[in-house]
Amino acid sequence: MNKQKQFEDSFAEIQAEWVRLCLEYVPDARKIFMYASCEQRTYSFDAFYMIDDEVVMTHKVNTVPGHSYDDSKDRQMDLLVAGTEKIVEMHGLHEEYGREMPTEMKLIYDATGNSLEGEYSYELKYSNTADTTNDDIFDEWFEEVKQKENYL
């Protein structure tokens, strides 16, 4: 197998692992929105969900009527830590193959069609500013998606 194919397969495996981790947290989500960030060796992972027709953060999944999940602090931390560990793994993969690591990955998994879409950026988003954090970028994306999904 050539190096390009090995890299692509490993890259896809890590993304599939993010999906698996998020589905463990909310097995019946319609969509999963995953945010991975790597700037200046600062790693961050977070996710939010579409359950039925509601877009909610991980700590609010039990606000959707008719659904009940284990959203304990431990489960939330397990998801974030495991997702972040995969970013570190992905960074190592990029270094191993001499590739530039994206600074930001926004992934959307659509469970109804079993499809994954990704948007990747290689530009600094927050580490070059004094007043923006990775959490701010994640929260902005959440609000954008929530607005968009509410008007469809």
6-41 tens-digit pLDDT? 999 999 999 999 999 999 999 999 999 999 999 988
Angle formed at CA 29 by CA 74 and CA 143, multiple of 5 degrees: 80
Q: Is 60 helix (H, G, I), strand (E, B) or coil?
A: helix
What average pLDDT does this structure show over 112-124? 95
Residue pair 100/122 in contact (Cβ under 8 Å)? The answer is yes
Q: Does domain 3-150 sit in CATH 3.40.50.150? A: no
Q: What is the pTM assigned to this prediction?
A: 0.94
Stretch (H or E) spanning 35: strand 31-39
77-110 tens-digit pLDDT? 999 999 999 999 999 999 999 999 999 999 999 9
Residue pair 47/22 in contact (Cβ under 8 Å)? The answer is yes
Q: How remote is the C-alpha of 16 from its chain's centroid?
A: 11
Percent of the chain whose pLDDT exceeds 70: 97
Tokens of 64: 């959707």
Would you list the domain boundaries of the chain?
3-150
* CA distance to 8, 29, 67, per residue, from 58 (Å): 29, 11, 13
How far apart are the two ends of the chain, measured CA to CA in Å?
A: 43
